[in-house]
Amino acid sequence: MSDIIALGTDGASLMTGRKFGVAKFLQDDSPHVVNIHCVAHRLNLCTSKAADEVEYVGKVFQKTLTDLFYYFKKSACRVAELAEVQKLLDDPQIKVKEVHEIRWFAMYNALFTVYKTWRSLLRYVKKIDKRSSKEEEQLANFTDYKFIFKLHVMMDVIPRFTELNLVFQKVDLDVSCVQPAVEGCLSCLKCALSGKSHYQPLLKDKMILKKENDNVIAKYWGEKLHNYQAKKSEEIRDKFLNALQDRVEKRFPKESVSVSTAFSVMGLRSISMLSEEDLVNYGKEEMEILTNFYGSDRTGNGEYLSKAKIDQIGTRCEWGILKRVVLKERYARDNFSKLWTEICAHHKSMFPNLLTLARLALVVPLQTVDCELGFSCQNNIHNPARNRLCAERLNTLMLIKLEGKEVDEFDYVRALEKWKKKVDRRIFKA
C-alpha cells in the first residue's frame, strides 16, 4: 500500500465518495495517496453539462443529429442513395456518424458530416415524394436558420475541444501542459463568442438576405431557410458558450492549486522570461504545497502511518538552486520527463528531494487512459462470438494485445519452437 501514491478516477461517487469511496479507503491505508479526477472526463463533463443548460442545443440540435444517424443506419438503400446525391453535388462521400450521449465529443464527427454534406442531405429528403412525419421534421430542422447558425458555431468550438480532449488522452501527458492547453482553448472560445472565429464569418459570406413585404428571406447555398431570427440565434450561441466557458473555468480553476496541479511548476517552462525578483518567487506557493504534503508524516484512519517522502527544508533549498542551474545549463524545458532525466544524469547528488518529487509527478495519473484502453481491449476480445473465454485466457490475450510487440516485430519462429517443446504434439511426429 505504501507504493500507491495517486488514484485517477472518472469522478463517480463510488470512487470518490467521502465515506465509502475507493479513494477514501486507499487514503486510510496510505495517507499520501492523492485523488485525481481525470482531466479528459472533466472536460467531457464541461461540454455535456453546458449543452444541458441550453434547451435548443440539448433537445433540438443534438436530437436532430442523433435522429439523422438512426434514419440512415436502418437502411443500406438510403445510404446508397445519399452517396449518389453526394456524388452528383460533388460533396464528400462520407457516412452520417452517431452522437454518443455518454461521449459528447463524438459529436465532432457528426457535425463534420452534416456541415460538409448539408446540401446532399437536404436534397435527399426533399426528393422523397411521400415524406413521413419524421422526414418532415428533419426537413424543417435542416432548413431552420437557428440550426444552420448553431452548426457553424459548433464547428468553431467542438473541434477545439476535441483536440484538447485528445491531448488529455495521451498516455505520457505532461503535467505542465494541462493549464496552458486549457487556456488556449478558452481563448478560442472567447473568439467564437465574439463571432470572429472561422466558420461564423463563412456563414455570413454564404448567406443571401432579401427583404420581401417587411419579411427577411434568407438563403443558404441557394436553399431557402425559414424562421430567420438572427438575434435569437446569437442569444442561443451566447448562452451556450458562456455556460461552456463557466464550466471549464470551474473545473480547471487557474487560481486553485492542489497537490496534483502543483507538480506543473516543476516543468520550469517560463523561467527564461522572469526578472530576478520573479525568479526568486517562482513556484514558491506550489513548492510549499508539495513540501507540506510529502514532507511530513501522515496518519490515516488513526492507525496507519505513512512516513515523509522528502525533507522539507532540503527541498526548499534545492528549489532555489535548481532554477539557476537549469537557466545556466540551458536545459530544454519542452518535456517534463526529458528535463528531469537530464537533471538526474548530471546533478543527482545535488537535488535528491526534488528528484523524488519528479518521480512522483511522472507517475501521477492525470487521466484514466490506460484503464479506458483496457476496457476497449476487453470488449474487442470478449465479444459475442467469443463469450465463453475464461478469465485467465482473456487476461493473457489482453496482456498480449496491450503490452505485446507489433505483428511485424513478433518472432513467430521462436514462438513456434517454444509451443512445440511445451507438449509432445502428434502434428510434429508425422
Instruction: Specify the 3-state DSSP secondary structure of 229.
Output: coil
For helices 178-194 and 145-168, angle between their N-to-C axes, nearest 10 degrees = 170
Sheet bearing 207-212, strands edge to edge: 207-212, 215-220, 223-225
What pLDDT, on the 0 to 100 scale, is given for residue 302? 62
* Per-residue pLDDT at 47: 85
Phi/psi of residue 79, each to 5°?
Answer: -60, -45
Which pLDDT belongs to residue 58? 82
Q: Is the pLDDT of residue 136 over 80?
A: yes
Structure pTM?
A: 0.81
Q: Which tops the pLDDT comparison, 291 or 170? A: 291
For the beta carbon of residue 59, count every other beta carbon within 10 angstroms: 12
Residues 6+ apart with CB under 8 A from 280: 320
**pLDDT tens digit string along 179-232?**
888 999 999 999 999 998 999 999 989 999 888 777 888 999 889 999 898 899
Every domain of the chain and the residues it spans:
42-251, 262-363, 369-429
Q: What does the alpha-carbon distance between residue 430 and residue 422 come to, in Å, rounded to a whole number?
A: 17
* pLDDT of res. 117: 93
What would the DSSP string read from start to end of 296-324? Answer: S-EEETTTEEE--SS-HHHHHHHHHHHHH
* Nine cell digits for residue 409: 516485430
How many residues appear in the chain? 430
Q: Residue 192: which residues within 8 A CB-CB, separation 6 or more?
A: 153, 156, 157, 200, 237, 241
pLDDT of residue 129: 87
**Of 322 and 167, which is predicted with more confidence?**
322
- pLDDT digit string (tens) for 162-193? 888 888 888 778 888 888 889 999 999 999 99
The Cα 138–Cα 72 span in angstroms is 12
**Residue 255 per-residue DSSP state:** S
Cell numbers placing 244 = 461552456
Calpha distance 173→167 (Å, rounded): 7
pLDDT at 372: 83
For 344-364, write each residue's pLDDT tens digit. 999 999 999 999 999 999 988
Q: What does the block give as the cell for 309?
A: 517522502
Res 425 pLDDT > 90: no
Average pLDDT score over the chain:
89
| Residues 73-108: tens digit of each pLDDT | 889 999 999 999 999 999 998 988 887 755 556 778
